[in-house]
Structure 1
Amino acid sequence: MALTAVIEAHGGPEEFKLVDIEIGEPGPNEVRIAHKAVGLNFIDVYQRTGLYPMKLPHAMGMEAAGIIEAVGEGVTHLKVGDRAAYASQPPGSYTEARVMPAAQVCPLPDGISFEEGAAMMLKGMTVEYLFHRTTPLKRGDTVLFHAAAGGVGLIACQWAKSEGITLIGTAGTDEKCQLALDHGATHCINYRTTDWAARVAELTGGAGVDAVMDAVGADTFEGSLDSLKPLGMMISFGNASGPVPPFSVGILGAKGSLKITRPTIFTHIGDHATCQAMAKHLSDKVLAGDVKINIGQRFALKDVAKAHAALEARQTTGSTILEI
């Protein structure tokens, strides 16, 4: 049996229930993993609230790290006793242990702790595809990154610095802006006290940025388009402030033949080999010291509702984990 956080209805953090679930043995192409730490992400909030509907009741969570306890037939990249981490469908990581598909479970190097592994996989592989798989970016390019002091943002700040890319961040307090700067952002703008779009124009001499990386959504969409240089790429990869409202595609032409995409990590990691390559690239960055994983908050599994409340209220910095 494994203590597991589930929801039976969409709604607020109070919908979480802790129940004991029978684990069982892995079938073909599956593993059983005993968790040591679990990561929290905004997609968990979207699923809990129903923005991304799920068939209920369902266990929650998309990310964790632990030790492989059993492997099913056909699994060749992991063995019993291996350290491993993942960010993967289906939801169900808020638990002490689980059986799950093996394809997106990745080896975790000895030099990376279980806590770091749980805190980095979804966020770090998101940064990997943003900088290497979404639009061509090169040394000397400039990107605008919203929520730069969040879990994804602090990894992105370091990643950009390691790649020679200028990153202009936004955050909601001076303290969060300083945190982003300390992690490698070239500039960071307090969006509560400054017209951030005007400041981006000033910082780029009116030229605009090559790409915007935006997980905020509705609140930042229009200003983000206005911050792009002609032929720039708008990457909308989240909805923390709500989904982007419908818009006329013609506006992209009027604003400079802009490009726009709405990627998800799950498309990129759907292919086993690609997922493993992304995870290795991320691990290599961490082991080299280019990226340090900032764990800003830790909660016990029984306090998952408190963790969600803090995440949803934007009261967190860096990554948030559940300790098992």
Structure 2
Amino acid sequence: MSNAYRMVARAHGGPDVIEREDFAVPAPGHGEIVIETEAVGLNFIDTYYRKGLYPDALPISLGSESVGRIIAVGDGVTGFAIGQRVGTTQNGGAYATHRAIAAVKAMHIPEGIAPEIAAAVMLKGLTACYLAEDTFPARAGDIALVHSAAGGVGSLLVPWLLDKGVIVIAHSGSPEKAAQVSAEHSLSCSFADLPEAVKAITDGAMCHVVYDGVGAASWDASLASLRRRGLMVSYGNASGPVPPIGMLDLMRGGSLYATRPTLADYVATPELLAASAQKLFGRIASGVLTPRIGQTFALADAAEAHRALESRATTGSTVLIP
């Protein structure tokens, strides 16, 4: 227990602001459990908090996604016991060897799923779940454009949609990444050329939905790839935040819809979280999803992991190991 540490940011800035801090393992409060971390999932949202794009009080306890064994259970907790493996996407404090979390934010991890796989897939997989099942309840025959198709969310969203019979146009940032995507239409053209490529693939019909985690750089191309009354789903800002939207632009684009969803609103209750987790782990067990860990870093090397992520040098998911 004396070697417990976490990675924090005492100021907003680049990866260099991330530093190690020793701490005492906490006791669980009412409704809490304490886990000894086995694996931590790295996500682009972590860089938003580090840079100050998303507000959080300094010093920032980084990370949301971690998996571990329960070592202590607080008062008022039911359904969890010492020794069980659980995971959580609760914001704040995941980059740590030990962590106290609210039991209502925890999900049971099936014993057949390795902690590294669970840590790699929870946040991205639950995101893919709400994108495909709830934000746009995709149906067989629908046409969807998925940006960053070789990335963490994209590599799960594409097979999820394909399993539902959706026609997927996958787009990646390079030919090498596009080659990793198992979709009939896997593109790596420039954003400027993307709408014409979509037009050619769809014989002019264009897309029912665009899933865009890139942000500013892809915004115009995404809108231009939609059909009348299509849905623009902007769920991330990898290239920077989307500029202010002109409502008339949506009208001129064909009475378009636009939404900016976030996972918390789709797993807002223990029941919603459990149902989404069941869908996710069920698709892993059935082989629909094959989570791919592209790279691992030591937890203490979190700054190096952030550099790799922001330079687009990663593929699939990235995991930090204490």
Same fold flag (TM > 0.5): yes
Matched, 1:134 2:135: yes
Q: Which moved more, 1:228-237 or 1:156-165?
A: 156-165
SS of alignment partner, residue 135 of structure 2: coil
Equivalent residue for 2:213, pick from 182, 204, 215: 215
Q: Which moved more, 1:115-124 or 1:240-249?
A: 240-249
SS of alignment partner, residue 269 of structure 1: coil
Instruction: Check the 8 A contact 1:104/1:276 in 2, yes or no.
Output: no
SS of alignment partner, residue 260 of structure 1: strand
Matched, 1:57 2:59: yes
Task: State the partner residue of 2:242.
Answer: 244
Instruction: Check the 8 A contact 2:210/2:233 in 1, yes or no.
Output: yes
Instruction: Check the 8 A contact 1:88/1:266 in 2, yes or no.
Output: no
Return the alpha-carbon distance in structure 2 between the equivalents of residues 193 and 58 of structure 1: 34
Return the alpha-carbon distance in structure 1 between the equivalents of residues 318 and 279 of structure 2: 22
The letter for the 1-side match of 2:256 is: L
Q: Deviations over 1:81-118 (max 9, x none)?
A: 111112122x1100111112111210000111000010
Equivalent residue for 1:277, pick from 250, 253, 275: 275
Task: State the partner residue of 1:119.
Answer: 120
The letter for the 2-side match of 1:6 is: V
The letter for the 2-side match of 1:128 is: C
The letter for the 1-side match of 2:304 is: K
**Alignment root-mean-square deviation, CA:** 1.2
Task: State the partner residue of 1:97.
Answer: 98
Task: State the partner residue of 2:50.
Answer: 48
Within a 5 Å distance, the mapping from 1:74-223 to structure 2 comes to: 74-89=76-91, 91-181=92-182, 185-192=183-190, 195-223=193-221
Instruction: Check the 8 A contact 1:173/1:192 in 2, yes or no.
Output: no
Q: Cα–Cα, structure 1 residues 18 and 255, in superposed 2: closer, same or farther, change >3 Å? A: same
Q: Which moved more, 1:43-52 or 1:20-29?
A: 20-29
Matched, 1:257 2:255: yes
Q: Deviations over 1:260-283 (max 9, x none)?
A: 100001111221210111111100
Query: How far apart are residue 186 of structure 1 and its match?
Result: 2.6
Return the alpha-carbon distance in structure 1 between the equivalents of residues 60 and 238 of structure 2: 22
Q: Deviations over 1:132-178 (max 9, x none)?
A: 11023101111101000101111112111211111111111111001
**Sequence identity of aligned pairs in percent?**
42
Task: State the partner residue of 2:29.
Answer: 27
Instruction: Check the 8 A contact 2:69/2:84 in 1, yes or no.
Output: yes
Matched, 1:38 2:16: no
Q: Give the TM-score taking structure 2 as reference length.
A: 0.97
Return the alpha-carbon distance in structure 1 between the equivalents of residues 151 and 26 of structure 2: 36
The letter for the 1-side match of 2:138 is: L
Instruction: Check the 8 A contact 1:124/1:155 in 2, yes or no.
Output: yes
SS of alignment partner, residue 246 of structure 1: coil
Misfit runs of 4+, over 6 Å: none
Return the alpha-carbon distance in structure 2 between the equivalents of residues 135 and 148 of structure 1: 17
Unmatched 5+ stretches in structure 1:
none
Return the alpha-carbon distance in structure 2 between the equivalents of residues 178 and 140 of structure 1: 24
Query: How far apart are residue 213 of structure 1 and its match?
Result: 0.4
Task: State the partner residue of 1:303.
Answer: 301
- How many residues are aligned here? 320
Query: How far apart are residue 193 of structure 1 and its match?
Result: 8.9
Q: Deviations over 1:246-296 (max 9, x none)?
A: 121111112111111000011112212101111111000001111011000
Q: Deviations over 1:166-196 (max 9, x none)?
A: 1111111111001012xxx231111349811
The letter for the 1-side match of 2:249 is: I
Q: Deviations over 1:6-33 (max 9, x none)?
A: 0000000000110111122111111101
Q: Give the TM-score taking structure 1 as reference length.
A: 0.96
